[in-house]
Amino acid sequence: MSYPYQIKSLDQYKQVYQNSIENPDQFWASIANHFRWKKKWDKVLNWNFKKPEVQWFQGAKLNITENALDRHLQYNGHRPAIIWEPNDPDDHHRIITYKDLHFKVCQFAHVLKNNGVKKGDRVVIYMGMVPELAIAVLACARIGAVHSVIFGGFSAQSIADRLQDAQAAFIITCDGAFRGNKDIPLKSVIDDAVVQCSFVKRIIVLTRTRTPVSMIKGRDIWWEDEIKKVETMGNPDFPAEEMDAEDPLFILYTSGSTGKPKGVVHSSAGYMVYTTYSFVNVFQYEQEDIFFCTADVGWITGHSYIVYGPLCAGATTLMFEGVPTYPDAGRFWAIVDKFKVNTLYTAPTAIRSLMSFGLGPIHGHDLSSLKVLGSVGEPINEEAWHWYDEHIGKGKCPIVDTWWQTETGGIMISNMAGITPSMPAHATLPLPGIQPTLVDENGKEIEGNSVSGNLCIKFPWPSIIRTTYGDHERCRTNYFATYENQYFTGDGALRDEHGNYRITGRVDDVLNVSGHRIGTAEVENAINMHAGVVESAVVGYPHDIKGQGIYAFVIDNNLHGDENLTRQDILITVSRIIGAIAKPDKIQFVSGLPKTRSGKIMRRILRKIAEGELTNLGDTSTLLDPSVVEEIIKGRV
Ligand code: WT7
């Protein structure tokens, strides 16, 4: 069975798209009508990109968890909501029905309430990929608390920064997390983080790895003990808090071109409508399909397409605790076979990494259940696209190349599986309601086809970023001030003769390393914190598996006299300040950096050197000391 708002043909897409642009209010209202509201809206859309201010479904009251859970109980309560596959293939998997999930979310909402969590409070969640992570997220939403999930790869310092920015008094974590053959001591990282955060009142710890942990009296409590207390209460139902359409649902921190990560804020109603709508249409989800998104809930992809989108659609979402190469590079294919997965949604970096193991790991796994494949996080190169198509989809599964961002909340530009045409390395067409534009450096919109420019969106969609937490001005300057009346994505794109978009990558100082977003300024700040470093400049360079690698040019003070040791020290420093995901792949020690007379580092030149493009460095005549360029070229690593 399909959904009332599911688009079923190319002609229908064209009609729906046209209508969504001409009558946006009517269009989105007709979709929103299929959700459960405590009270419907007074006005569909109110917007002003100058401020910026965007309100969707103004005046409506709802709770997203009633749409993700309660709404499915009557007819589909017995259906699997979450299938969970553990890190170790020999351990038991878990199947959690909608009825079970509703029960567990209500139970944990009681736990939160018993511990003083109230509507509007910020709750930081730092857990591995266990079902309780989804339960914690939904319980926050149930009670109206604002969750902020932090990916398990971030360091104590990064967590402390986020705790402070969000002023979060509550943390939910695990003793540890299993990831491949690693055991990550999550609670111990949290302990280091909260040393700087005396405002943290409660830390709820779920048992997963049985790693020894220090539990501080009066502050730290066990998830399991708290659940036991709730169990004696009898009926665990937890009435969903009535939320305003525009009440914040969550904060998710992401990197930008400045040093400090920003807290992207999404609101309740618009996010719900858009993630569900895009989930159903892009993947052409049919009831009873098994949907497997391999992202981590610590990133937006996991929020929108492991938790909220699928659950609001009453789908079965598969959550995997481990990594694609453990115990071997056939793990994804083993999971597809084991659960007869219908849709696989993963990242180009994972595809490229699995490609490098050859076809061996695929053999012996039946992939015939697959109907749709998806890609997200970075431009997918043609080679990876064809491998995915041929060896995983066996030439019969449409591949959706989904372009979107943490700030957009949901998929913006993508083909719809089997409905609109797919094209290798092209995200193709905008979803209904999405109005992309290309603009030149002067902010002039570039009309027509077969053109390229900076990618903007000129009209709001329901899951657009509302603010950056605690600093609305930053939201304005980052996204709405570069080009008048446009949301600026930070990406460049081409539009071909048929209007298909091809995303070419970031045009700002943001790197995309294995689908993770990392700001060069952030990495530079971390490197510069090392006592032996005088100054540094970080740029990206093409990397076969990661998409982009991190190349750091560093001026050191030669205190050790041992470059290798300093290199190791810098790597450890970056791991401590940001997390292992931001460690530079290459570090080159230099005696100077190419700067203009006004002292600005000319990254354009460093980027070319890092890319190995040495013949055409462009104009170097404005450099303070052109000779440093020669030296840097000679010392390339
Ligand atoms: C940036 C957003 C969207 C969830 C995962 C990343 C790049 C994302 C694609 C794609 C080309 C893509 C863009 C974008 N990107 N998807 N299909 N084709 N580029 O979320 O961390 O917010 O990063 O990822 O550069 O701006 P994110």
pLDDT at residue 439 greater than cutoff 80: yes
Q: Going by CA atoms, what residue is nearest to atom 17 of ligand 1?
A: 403
Residues 609-637 pLDDT 10s: 999 988 888 777 788 888 899 999 999 99
Non-local (6+) Cβ contacts of 68 within 8 A are: 138, 141, 307, 308, 311, 312
Cα separation values, 508 from 25, 377, 502, 599, 607, Å: 33, 16, 17, 20, 12
Which pLDDT does position 533 carry in this prediction?
A: 95
How many C-beta atoms surround the C-beta of residue 239 within 10 A? 10
Which pLDDT does position 529 carry in this prediction?
A: 95
Report which of 331, 51, 68, 284 is spatially closest to residue 179, judged by C-alpha positions: 331
Per the CB < 8 A criterion, the answer to whether 109 and 85 are in contact is no
Higher pLDDT, 359 or 260: 359
**In a mutational test of the pocket of ligand 1, which residue from 255, 403, 408, 468 has the highest number of ligand atoms less than 8 Å from its CB?**
403
* Ligand 1 atom index nearest CA of 300: 4
pLDDT at residue 127 greater than cutoff 80: yes
* Ligand 1 atom index nearest CA of 489: 26
Ligand 1 center from residue 459 Cα (angstroms): 20
> Could you write out the three-class secondary structure of 417-482?
CCCCCCECCECECECCCCCEEEECCCCCECCCCCEEEEEEECCCCCCCCCEECCCHHHHHHHHHCC
Give the distance, in angstroms, between the CA of residue 187 and the centroid of all CA atoms in the same chain: 23
Give the pLDDT mean for 489-514. Answer: 96
Measured CA to CA, the distance from residue 559 to residue 561 in angstroms comes to: 6
Beta-bridged to residue 263, according to DSSP, are: 253
Q: Is the CB of 379 under 6 A from ligand 1?
A: yes
Q: Is the CB of 506 under 6 A from ligand 1?
A: yes
Per the CB < 8 A criterion, the answer to whether 175 and 187 are in contact is yes
Q: Is the CB of 453 under 6 A from ligand 1?
A: no
Non-local (6+) Cβ contacts of 260 within 8 A are: 161, 522
Measured CA to CA, the distance from residue 154 to residue 159 in angstroms comes to: 7
Residues 465-492 pLDDT 10s: 999 999 999 999 999 999 999 999 999 9
On the question of a cis peptide bond just before residue 239, with omega within 30 degrees of 0, the verdict is: no
Which pLDDT does position 616 carry in this prediction?
A: 81
Q: Going by CA atoms, what residue is nearest to atom 7 of ligand 1?
A: 378
Measured CA to CA, the distance from residue 350 to residue 324 in angstroms comes to: 7
pLDDT band per the 50, 70, 90 thresholds, residue 314: very high
Which pLDDT does position 618 carry in this prediction?
A: 79
First-to-last C-alpha distance (Å) of the chain: 56
Q: Which structural domains are found in the chain, ordered by start?
A: 66-241 (3.40.50.980), 513-634 (3.30.300.30)
Look at residue 278 and give its three-state secondary structure. helix
Give the pLDDT mean for 184-194. Answer: 98
Q: Going by CA atoms, what residue is nearest to atom 24 of ligand 1?
A: 377
Measured CA to CA, the distance from residue 326 to residue 88 in angstroms comes to: 8
Tokens 């534009």 label which residue? 437
Give the Cα-Cα-Cα angle 127, 249, 135 (nearest 5 degrees): 35
Give the pLDDT mean for 30-44. Answer: 98
Residues 375-433 pLDDT 10s: 999 999 999 999 999 999 999 999 999 999 999 999 999 999 999 999 999 999 999 99
pLDDT at residue 558 greater than cutoff 80: no
Give the distance, in angstroms, between the CA of residue 189 and the centroid of all CA atoms in the same chain: 22
Q: Is the CB of 254 under 6 A from ligand 1?
A: yes
> Within 13 A of 77's CA, how many CA atoms are on the CB side?
9
Residues 248-280 pLDDT 10s: 999 999 998 888 899 999 999 999 999 999 999
**Which tokens in the block code for residue 400?**
């959706």
pLDDT at residue 1 greater than cutoff 80: no
* Ligand 1 atom index nearest CA of 506: 25
Q: Is the CB of 518 under 6 A from ligand 1?
A: no
Cα separation values, 554 from 174, 490, 588, 606, Å: 37, 27, 6, 12
* Ligand 1 atom index nearest CA of 413: 17
**Which tokens in the block code for residue 419?**
């409905």
Residue 549's φ and ψ, nearest 5 degrees, are -110, 165
Q: Is the CB of 85 under 6 A from ligand 1?
A: no
Measured CA to CA, the distance from residue 599 to residue 296 in angstroms comes to: 40
Left (φ > 0), alpha (ψ -120 to 50) or beta: where does 490 sit?
left
pLDDT at residue 454 greater than cutoff 90: yes
Which pLDDT does position 233 carry in this prediction?
A: 78
Measured CA to CA, the distance from residue 167 to residue 472 in angstroms comes to: 16
**In a mutational test of the pocket of ligand 1, which residue from 264, 279, 376, 385 has the highest number of ligand atoms less than 8 Å from its CB?**
376
Report which of 159, 145, 216, 212 is spatially closest to residue 185, judged by C-alpha positions: 212
Q: Is the CB of 5 under 6 A from ligand 1?
A: no
Which pLDDT does position 621 carry in this prediction?
A: 79
Beta-bridged to residue 345, according to DSSP, are: 293, 374
Report which of 631, 582, 586 is spatially closest to residue 605, judged by C-alpha positions: 631
**In a mutational test of the pocket of ligand 1, which residue from 251, 278, 405 has the highest number of ligand atoms less than 8 Å from its CB?**
405
Q: Hey, what amino acid is at 288?
A: E
Ligand 1 center from residue 411 Cα (angstroms): 10
Look at residue 501 and give its three-state secondary structure. strand
Tokens 């969903």 label which residue? 240
* Ligand 1 atom index nearest CA of 515: 6
* Ligand 1 atom index nearest CA of 255: 21
pLDDT at residue 559 greater than cutoff 80: no
Q: Going by CA atoms, what residue is nearest to atom 6 of ligand 1?
A: 377
Give the pLDDT mean for 495-508. Answer: 96
Residues in the chain, total: 637
Give the pLDDT mean for 156-167. Answer: 98
Ligand 1 center from residue 376 Cα (angstroms): 7
**In a mutational test of the pocket of ligand 1, which residue from 378, 456, 514 has the highest number of ligand atoms less than 8 Å from its CB?**
378
Ligand 1 center from residue 377 Cα (angstroms): 4
Residues 598-608 pLDDT 10s: 888 999 999 99
Give the Cα-Cα-Cα angle 250, 252, 256 (nearest 5 degrees): 145
pLDDT at residue 15 greater than cutoff 80: yes
Q: Is the CB of 400 under 6 A from ligand 1?
A: no
Measured CA to CA, the distance from residue 203 to residue 379 in angstroms comes to: 39
pLDDT at residue 560 greater than cutoff 80: no
> Could you write out the three-class secondary structure of 62-98?
ECHHHHHHHHHHHHHCCCEEEEEECCCCCCCCEEEEH
Q: Is the CB of 406 under 6 A from ligand 1?
A: yes
Non-local (6+) Cβ contacts of 574 within 8 A are: 523, 526, 527, 582, 583, 584
**In a mutational test of the pocket of ligand 1, which residue from 299, 517, 546 has the highest number of ligand atoms less than 8 Å from its CB?**
517
Q: Which of 331-340, 391-400, 546-555, 600-609 has the lowest mean pLDDT?
A: 600-609
Ligand 1 center from residue 406 Cα (angstroms): 8
Ligand 1 center from residue 491 Cα (angstroms): 9
Measured CA to CA, the distance from residue 197 to residue 168 in angstroms comes to: 9
Residues 63-118 pLDDT 10s: 999 999 999 999 999 999 999 999 999 999 999 999 999 999 999 999 999 999 99
pLDDT at residue 182 greater than cutoff 80: yes
Measured CA to CA, the distance from residue 49 to residue 313 in angstroms comes to: 30
Measured CA to CA, the distance from residue 353 to residue 333 in angstroms comes to: 14
Per the CB < 8 A criterion, the answer to whether 92 and 130 are in contact is no
Ligand 1 center from residue 503 Cα (angstroms): 9
Q: Is the CB of 300 under 6 A from ligand 1?
A: yes
